[in-house]
Structure formats: C-alpha cells, structure tokens
C-alpha cells in the first residue's frame, strides 16, 4: 500500500526561523539583486526580521552583498546575491553512453564537468568507477575550499521513490539496484545529502529550479534518446516532482499510441517507443548496436528511407507532446536527449504537429513555450545537483 504516513506539518519557533531564512534565500535565488527592503515587502516580513535573517545567511556563506542600488529619493538599498564561493553540489548521470559528472554552484553554474564515454557494465563496477571520477572532480582546484552540500545521481529508468531503488533500466540491463548503497562505501568522506532519481525528472527539476526571473508554474522535460521518458515538476515551494506510486510517472515512451501496433520490449503493443526512440529508429534503418546512432544517421539524411523514418518518428513525437499537453498541461516543455541532434528532419514534423493541434480545444492563439536543448549532455546531472540544493534549503538540514 501507498500510505505516506507523514503527519501534517507542524513546528516550533526554530522551525519558523528556518522557514523564514529559507524564504529569504529562495527569494534571492529567484530574483538575484533584491534588497532587504524588497524582501520584506514581498515576503510580508518586517524589516527587522529580514535584517536578522540576511545577517545570519551572510555569516554562513549563503549570501553575499553586492552593489548599492540606485537611490529613488532616499538611502539606496544594498543588492543581495547568492554567494557562489562557499558551497557547491555534485551531480552525476549514469547513461547508456557514459558517465556525466558536474560540480555546480548555488546559482547552477558549472564549476567543473566531466563526460566519461563508456558503456556501463555491472552496477558495482560502475559505482566504483563513478566514485573515483567524483573524487577527482572534488580534488579539482575550482572546487577547493567549498563545502559540498551533497551528491545527486540521475539514472535512466523508473525509480521507486520510497526506498529508493532503480526498478529497471532496460538500456543498461539493470534491475532493482540500490545504487546509492553501492556508491556510498566508495565515498566515505562525502558529506551532506544523497539523492537518486530518474534522469528526466532530475533534468526537469534543474531546468525549473535554476531559472531566475519569470519562473513557469510547471515544466515537463522530455528526454528523447534510446528510450523516451519525461519528468514533470510543479512550481510550488519547493517545486514538486511528480514521481507516482512506483516511479512510473513520466514513462510516456510506454503510453500506447497505436493500439495493436508493433510489440515493444516491455511486452505491450503500440507503445510510443515503437514509433519514436533510438532503438526503434535503429531497428527501422538497420543500424547495429555498436554504431553510434547519431553519427550513423547524420551522413545519410538525404536518403529517402531515412527522411521517411524520421518524419514518422517526428509525428509520433508531436503526438506525444500533444498528449502531454492534454494530460499535464505544463507551462513549459523542454525537449532534450540525444535524438535532438538529428535536427530538423525529426523535430520539424514534431513541432509542426504539436503547434498545429495544441490550440484546437480552447481556440486560443497562445502557444505553450517549447524549448529544444541542443546539447543536453549535463542537463540531468545538473538537475540532480539542483535536487541536492533544494533538499538542503527546504529539508530538515541544519545548514540554514
């Protein structure tokens, strides 16, 4: 049974203090350069409370003071920014094509990154290698002197959110892996939060969380690679990742688009992945596992069969986006993953279909913003790092 027995939140004065500190931090994170007075107005706190909170956050290295703002008749306010010098988070993604590691600042800027090209073997060996690479990353000079808030790992498959355990990663051949438990023995000195999540969900989280200024209410990240997955984040405080009971939320590659269609590796028929995914495109064009899919296709784009295959896949992708629109209706859709590199022959039919049909129901002209990320190499790893930060800011940590 799925019974979160989490009693309704209650708290003491300490809790209230932390709540207000993290509210202040959130405000500055979202709109860098605010003054104490701005925060007091927006958060409905008194100047005194904000002043105290800002002082403690400055002392603990979360914030830094910036320039004086323009005066508008009186004493000018002092701009406040996140202090990117004192803390850092680590994020990593285990993917079919290798390990991707990042270290990043509170603002989401990459301090260092590393892409190790390899095909992961067993979980144990992969964990050991990843640990080694993480050690190297932490030893790099840009990281020096920073306090590490924790480590987030993004994995390509549904993760049962309670344990957490990676239930299934078809492209790695892994099942029921508690990856963090394999990793932690190799990283004894790692302090802070440990996070493990699905790559599309981590990516979605990062894309929303590291945004400043105009922040969408919700965001879906669609990861189009060997398989197709998605992650949805809703912009409450903190943004909430929809994971579902068994971590199956966002498994849009296995929604049925063509009842009675081709068999999918999951055993069902007509799944979206049979129409659009790295493996189905491989199968349609007879490209061997050993070859890099993108590199194999790019020189063949002029071939009619390739164009037809990609156009059909693109239309299926467009249908998938439309179905997302009518199921979750996110404020913004972000499209990433290796298939994006195939460019217009795949994406044009997808976007054309989506844009042509998304407004039929309401008859409006408003288009849901859809952003395509050309290079999504470190997006999921960075998102996992974002989850670490959010967990520290909003969780039970004592660092704030």
Which of DNA, its own copies, none has residue 72 at its interface (CB below 5 to 8 Å by kind)? DNA
Give phi and psi for 333, each to the nearest 5.
Answer: -120, 135
Q: Which of 153, 180, 322, 389: binder of its own copies (CB under 8 A)?
A: 322
Long-range contacts (CB closer than 8 Å, 24 or more residues apart) made by 34-37: 34/79, 34/80, 35/69, 35/77, 35/78, 35/79, 35/80, 36/77, 36/78, 36/80, 37/77
Residue from the set 68, 245, 344, 352 that interacts with its own copies by CB under 8 A: 245
Q: Please, are residues 156 and 170 in contact by the beta-carbon 8 Å criterion? A: no
Q: Which of 22, 83, 223, 226 lies at the binding interface for its own copies (CB under 8 A)?
A: 22
Residue whose structure tokens are 């990843």: 130
Residue 75 CB, nearest approach to DNA (Å): 3
- Angstrom distance (rounded) from CA 80 to CA 35: 6
Transcribe 297-341 into DSSP letters.
HGGGTTSHHHHHHHHHHHHHHHHHHHHHHHHT--SEEEEESGGGG
Which residues 38-57 are close enough to bind DNA by CB under 7 A?
38, 44-49, 51-55
**Among positions 2, 72, 189, 236, the unique one binding DNA when judged by CB under 7 A:** 72
Residue 217 neighbours by CB under 8 Å, 6+ apart: 234, 235, 331
- Rounded to whole angstroms, how far apart are CA atoms 202 and 209? 10
The verdict on 302 binding its own copies (CB under 8 A) reads no
Please tell me whether residue 396 binds DNA under the rule CB under 7 A.
no
Asked if 319 and 351 count as a contact pair (C-beta separation under 8 A), the reply is no
Among 64, 78, 115, 311, binds DNA (CB under 7 A): 78
Should residue 362 be labelled a site residue for its own copies when binding is judged by CB under 8 A?
A: yes
- Select the residue interacting with DNA from 4, 71, 189, 214 (CB under 7 A): 71
Instruction: Supply the minimum distance, in Å, between the C-beta of residue 15 and DNA.
Output: 8
CB closer to DNA, 54 vs 172:
54
Q: Which two tokens stand for residue 295?
A: 């590199």
Neighbours of 312 (CB within 10 A): 17
Which entry of its own copies, DNA, none binds 83, CB below 5 to 8 A by partner kind? none
Residue 4 or 71 having the CB closest to its own copies: 4
Q: From the list DNA, its own copies, none, which binds 71 (C-beta under 5 to 8 Å, kind-based)?
A: DNA
- The binding track of 8-37 with respect to DNA, each residue x by CB under 7 A or -, is ----xxx-xx--x--------------xxx
- Closest separation between CB of residue 16 and its own copies, Å? 5
Q: Is 76 in the site for DNA (CB under 7 A)?
A: yes
Rounded Cα gap, residues 166 and 57, in angstroms: 36
Binding site for DNA (CB under 7 A): 12-14, 16-17, 20, 35-38, 44-49, 51-55, 68, 71-78
């Amino acid at each position: 049974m799925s019974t979160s027995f989490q009693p309704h939140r209650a708290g003491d004065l300490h809790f209230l203090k932390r709540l207000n500190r993290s509210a202040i931090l959130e405000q500055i994170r979202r709109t860098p350069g605010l003054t104490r007075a701005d925060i007091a107005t927006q958060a409905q706190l008194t100047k005194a409370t904000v002043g105290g909170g800002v002082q403690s956050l400055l002392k603990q290295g979360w914030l830094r003071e910036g320039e004086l703002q323009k005066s508008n008749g009186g004493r000018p306010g002092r701009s406040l920014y996140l202090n990117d010098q004192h803390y850092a988070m680590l994020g990593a993604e285990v993917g079919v094509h290798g390990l991707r590691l990042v270290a990043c600042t509170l603002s989401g800027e990459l301090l260092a990154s590393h892409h190790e090209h390899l095909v992961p073997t067993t979980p144990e060996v992969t964990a050991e290698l990843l640990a080694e690479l993480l050690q190297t990353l932490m030893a790099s000079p840009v990281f020096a002197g920073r306090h590490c808030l924790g480590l987030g790992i993004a994995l390509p498959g549904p993760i049962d959110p309670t344990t957490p355990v990676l239930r299934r990663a078809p492209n790695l051949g892994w099942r029921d892996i508690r990856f963090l438990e394999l990793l932690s023995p190799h990283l004894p000195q790692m302090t802070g939060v440990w996070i493990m999540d699905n790559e599309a969900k981590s990516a979605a989280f990062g894309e929303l969380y590291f945004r400043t200024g105009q922040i969408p209410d919700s965001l879906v990240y669609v990861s189009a690679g060997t398989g197709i997955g998605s992650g949805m984040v809703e912009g409450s405080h903190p943004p909430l990742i929809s994971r579902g009971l068994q971590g199956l939320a966002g498994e849009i590659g296995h929604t049925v688009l063509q009842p009675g269609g081709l068999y999918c590796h999951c055993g069902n028929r007509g799944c979206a992945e049979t129409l659009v995914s790295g493996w189905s495109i491989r199968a349609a064009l007879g490209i061997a596992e050993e070859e890099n899919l993108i590199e194999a296709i790019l020189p063949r784009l002029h071939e009619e069969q390739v164009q037809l295959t990609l156009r059909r896949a693109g239309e299926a992708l467009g249908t998938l986006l439309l179905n997302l629109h009518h199921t979750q209706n996110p404020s913004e859709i972000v499209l990433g993953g290796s298939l994006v590199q195939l460019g217009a022959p795949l994406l044009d039919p997808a976007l054309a279909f989506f844009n042509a049909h998304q407004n039929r129901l309401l008859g409006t002209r408003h288009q849901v913003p859809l952003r395509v990320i050309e290079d999504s190499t470190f997006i999921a790893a960075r998102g996992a790092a974002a989850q670490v930060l959010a967990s520290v800011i909003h969780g039970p940590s004592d660092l704030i």
